[in-house]
Structure 1
Amino acid sequence: MNITLRQLYGFKAVADVGTFTAAAQRLKVAQPALSLNIRDLERELGARLFDRTTRRVELTAAGREFLQSVDKLIADLEQAVQNARDLAERKRGRLVVAAPPLLAALVVPGATADFKKRFASIDVSVVDAQTNVIVAKVRSGEADCGIGTFAEAEEGLRKETLFEDALMAWCPAQSTWARSSRLTWKDIATGPLIAMTRDSRIRFLVDQAYQSAGQTVRPAYEVSHMTTAIMMVEAGLGVAPLPAYVWGFARALNVVPKILSEPEVRREVAIIHASGRALSPAAEAFLRYLKKQARAALPRGLRQSGRERNS
């Protein structure tokens, strides 16, 4: 089949106005070219579409039946084009964002609120889940993008840095740790230590840091959620090495974050999307609002050090 859109639009124009001359004027083409297109279309279909007279052309039975299909085809095509333009201009659509629970609570709501002020007709859905679930949903297309810390080479995914985070010592406000300007891993090795469970990526980084400092990890408490760890710190039960972005949750609590050094442990919080699919215009716009909210979630000192490294 070798039927072109030009032929279909030409056929519809002639059917609508009843003459080749008026149809050519509507389409802004030469009449001979339009007549040739219609003849080629009839040849391709193997059927005569118009009965021609000296003044008008009229649809044949085959032409009337063919016009119904052409009308639907052109309407569907024009709707598809308009939908694509609306998506490109962020006038409509749906965006699904997957993030781990604390990031979903600290960064995504503010970004969503700012985004909806600008793009009110785009629906935003949030999936709060663990990292392995986030990766699976982005790979399958169930989520447009995912936020979190991911392995260096995740097959089938593209990654873009959202912000750089650091592990900090979260201390009870009345503790001796809180009065120090900076802390090392050796300083908090005596504990009592509040640590994440061993299935956590944060716990892996903590174990590595203690090993690098020549210390052994001996947690007094192990918990699965960072919010639990912070509340235990506020209760005075110990010190917890946790990401800096916990500040967004903990700044109203009676806890103090301190930068940990020797070694300083930094990690990339990234946004991921499927490598086989381009990031949608809506997701690209949403990313800008995420970066703004992510910076606000970091303690002031870490925000400043981040700008210095990037300058």
Structure 2
Amino acid sequence: MIIDFRQLKYAVLTADSQSFARAAAKLNMKQSTLSRKVKDMEMRLGLKLFERTTRGAELTENGKVFIEQARRIITDVENLQTTARNVSYGLKGRLAVGYCLPLMSGNLKLAFSDYLSRFPDVQFDGIEAGPEKLLHGLQSGTTDVVVAPIGVSEPGLISKQLWSERLFAALLKDSALLEKERIYWQDLRREVFVVSSNGLGPILGNLISARLTEQGFRPAVIYQDTSQESVLSMIAAKRFISIATEASQGAPWQDLHFREIYDANGPARLEFALYWRDDNQNPALKRFFKLIEERYPG
């Protein structure tokens, strides 16, 4: 017995619409044609799916069970079609890259743009999340490579140091800190910081605490469950400041000023590295490594 996939969809739409007339209108076909196609399927199945009444089409008990299964089949087929489209798009493979820093500008944006230009036939999936989630993706195999701050150490992972980004205080134009020739960490000791609880935010929060915590004193750091871009927008409330990397300055921020932060050794920086599993043999990943080696040798 062969059931046409379209007939399954016709039956499900009729059940959802509770009417052959309404279902036919959505399908842009005659009601009689739709009713006949569903009737033909009922005959093939040897089951009566619908009670046809003046009020519309009501599912029989057998019909309810059948429609539930039909929905699952339709979902599975549509998922297969999506997968097939993705495979045809990624003619030369797929690369999943995780990252936790903004893509407004900076080294990561340039690396991504370069890869997409060189390998247009590779399905390139970017995954923005916090380091913990990204590392879980590496271990589970759903992510090929991760760009995150240095300091991650887990069994089976290899790392390569990439670049460093300068750190900036994001301040309103009337902040007294702007009067200083240079801003050092200690100049920020009494400020209230707001950072994102996602992406790079927790790392910046830990960095603030590490630099400014003293005996009997801990800096005020507020975590917000939002993006870094939204955090920077919140500074306009004139109660907070924030910390940002160079990559956050790719877009204009009205009334915000970014001033570089210094420590005893010069400009404060956040170091980034590449992380991947030592057993990952993805050819698309190897091409990504080659590009990174060209851009950031050593």
TM-score of the two chains, using structure 1 as the length reference: 0.54
- How far the C-alpha of 1:286 sits from its partner, in A, is 4.7
Classify the secondary structure of the residue corresponding to 1:103.
coil
CA contact (8 A) 2:166 2:268 kept: yes
Partner of 1:23: none
In the other structure, the counterpart of 1:269 is: 272
Percent of paired sites with the same residue: 16
Residue matched to 2:224: 223
- Aligned partner letter, 2:179: R
Q: 1:150 to 1:134 in 2, by over 3 A?
A: farther
Structure 1 residues 105 and 262, CA gap change in structure 2 (3 angstroms)? closer
1:103 maps to a residue whose letter is P
The DSSP-based 3-state class of the residue aligned with 2:174 is coil
The one-letter code of the counterpart of 1:259 is E
Instruction: Give the conservation status (yes or no) of the 8 Å contact 2:195–2:228.
Output: no
* Larger-Rg structure: 1
Over 3 Å counting, the alpha-carbon distance change for 1:181 and 1:270 in structure 2 is same
- 1:144-223 to structure 2, matched below 5 A, reads 144-196=144-196, 200-211=202-213, 216-219=218-221, 221-223=222-224
Paired AA for residue 254 in structure 1: D
**Residues 238-270 of structure 1: CA deviation (Å, up to 9, x unaligned):** 321333332234x44432222223456433211
Q: Give the Å deviation of 1:184.
A: 1.9
Displacement of 1:187 after TM fit? 1.7
Aligned residues: 200
Report the aligned-residue RMSD: 3.4
Match of 1:103 in 2: 102
Residues 169, 272 of structure 1: CA spacing in aligned structure 2 closer, same or farther, 3 A cutoff? Answer: same
Correspondence 1:1-311 to 2 at 5 A: 92-100=92-100, 102-103=101-102, 106=105, 111-196=111-196, 200-211=202-213, 216-219=218-221, 221-224=222-225, 225-249=227-251, 251-262=252-263, 265-277=268-280, 280-287=285-292
Contact 2:150–2:161 under 8 Å retained in 1: no
Take 2:154 and 2:104, find their aligned partners in 1: how far apart are those partners? 25
**Structure 1 residues 141 and 187: alpha-carbon distance in aligned structure 2, compared to 1, 3 A threshold:** same
Q: In 2, Cα distance between the equivalents of 1:174 and 1:203?
A: 24
Query: How far, CA to CA, are the matches of 2:175 and 2:148 in structure 1?
Result: 31
| Shift of residue 197, structure 1, vs aligned partner | 5.3
AA in 1 matched with 2:194: I
Query: Could you state the TM-score of these two structures normalised by the residue count of structure 2?
Result: 0.56
Q: Which amino acid aligns with 1:267?
A: L
**DSSP-derived class of the 2:167 partner:** strand
Unaligned runs of 5+ in 2: 1-89
SS of 1:186 mapped into structure 2: helix
CA 1:135–1:202 in structure 2 vs 1: closer, same or farther (change >3 Å)? same
